[in-house]
Amino acid sequence: MARRKRKICVVTNTRADYSRLKTLLSALRARTDIELVLCVAGSHLLPVRGHTIDEIERDGFLVDYRLYTEVDGHTLTSMAKSTGLAILEFTSFFENNRPDVVVVHGDRFEAFAAASAASMMNIHVAHLQGGEITGTIDEHLRHAITKLSHFHFASDSISEKRIHDLGEASDRVFNSGCPSTDVLMASPKSSFEDFKRALAPKIKKEGWIDSLTNDFFLVIQHPVTTEYETTANEMGELLAALKGFSNHVLALWPNIDAGAEGIVERIKAHEREVDGTFAVIDHMPMEIFLNAMRHARVLIGNSSAGVREASYFGTPVVNVGTRQQGRLRTKNVIDVQAEKSAVTRAIKMQLKNIRYAPSYPYGKGNSGKKIAKILAKIPLGSPQKKLVSKR
């Protein structure tokens, strides 16, 4: 009798986690001993966030299930309700499909919901990017997901140690690197003119692309849910700093966490005030986004891309506020408070640095295949977990 293929369900919820799961999905799909099930949920399904499920399907992946889990509102209450709704939806999906392993990424509430449902249903959970420290409530969820998970794939040795310190069994913790680096290492660098042509369909502002030069700023600022009340003001400080520079600005809309609405309002007001140098878009496909980081003069904001992917290109980064506090970073990053004068000083300092030497702290291009091989071969055993004492 032929051995049954191991059924592995990968859950993706946002444009950001898809970029970190893409090569793992490809590696799992290529294996003959794996049945891949792809579950797409969260902001992927929201038109206002670019309906990024379209990108997943353009990449050739078959979407097996769509989960509509987001409660509108961009508040702490709507996030909590979205988590509850997501647990209900994931539970129904897992009951009907019974995967052997559910793969979740990172620290978002949707990933927590998937891990909670799977764990309570005695389904093994594999977690990518556990053990990291950030400056938001998501960090609480990240460590909670670690305790709900059975297999752990850390992006670096420091995070690997933290997972061990949380009491996880050493034979189930792996320093795999981050699969997003696979895309970085394999992605060809486009010329600036080719980048502009690829970006042009996303830009609605007349004449902006024609006047774009390679000294533009890339701005990505997300809400900090533990600083919900000050999120809009912090974005206001960042935008006020930008007024002191003549550089074109390419900005991305924030994620859907509590406080996002305040950031959106500040961006809209800023766009009305300044001239044609400022453009904002909802989403860039990964290949365009990577080249945006490659060509940007400075990346400004609090996206994890600033302290992770940007290091691979040596892009100067001004990391604003506490959202990435505690994460591993390299010499290309200057950390500042969300205050106009501090941001201004940091931008001026980074403008003195054309480029930093590239650094590769999160792997060198084979993480997806490494994780897929482990997931295919590792004995599953009982879903019962045991605390491993470090004393």
Question: Does position 197 have pLDDT exceeding 80, yes or no?
Answer: yes
Are 224 and 347 in a shared domain? yes
Are 149 and 199 in a shared domain? no
Q: Is residue 22 part of a domain?
A: yes
Label residue 301 exposed, middle or buried (CB < 10 Å: 0-12, 13-18, 19+). Answer: buried
How confident is the prediction for the chain on average, in pLDDT? 91
Are 211 and 245 in a shared domain? yes
311: CB partners within 8 A, 6+ apart:
329, 330, 332, 333, 358, 359, 360, 361
Extract the tokens encoding 376. 């295919």
| Euclidean distance between the first and the last CA atom of the chain, given in angstroms as a whole number | 46
Count of domains in the chain? 2
Place of tokens 């946002």: 14
CATH of the domain at 47: 3.40.50.2000
Least confident stretch, 114-118, 234-238, 271-275, 347-351: 271-275
Question: Does position 135 have pLDDT exceeding 70, yes or no?
Answer: no
The boundaries of the domain holding residue 174 are: 6-178+363-377
Provide the β-strand partners of residue 336.
320
Averaged pLDDT, 35-53? 89
Question: Does position 93 have pLDDT exceeding 80, yes or no?
Answer: yes
Give the tens place of pLDDT for each residue, 285-296.
888 999 999 999
Are 27 and 160 in a shared domain? yes
Q: Which of 304, 214, 302, 286 is nearest to 250 (CA)?
A: 214
Least confident stretch, 34-38, 92-96, 323-327: 323-327
Element (H, E) at 8: strand 6-12
Q: What is the pLDDT of residue 26?
A: 95
Are 151 and 11 in a shared domain? yes
* Structure confidence at residue 3 as a pLDDT band (50, 70, 90): low
Place of tokens 């059924």: 7
Q: What is the pLDDT of residue 120?
A: 96
Averaged pLDDT, 330-354? 96
Q: Is residue 1 part of a domain?
A: no
277: CB partners within 8 A, 6+ apart:
208, 211, 246, 247, 248, 249
Check: CB of residue 375 under 8 Å from CB of residue 126: yes
Check: CB of residue 32 under 8 Å from CB of residue 4: no
Are 151 and 233 in a shared domain? no
Q: Is the pTM of this model over 0.85?
A: no
Three-state secondary structure readout of 38-67: EEEEHHHHCHHHCCCHHHHHHCCCCCCEEE
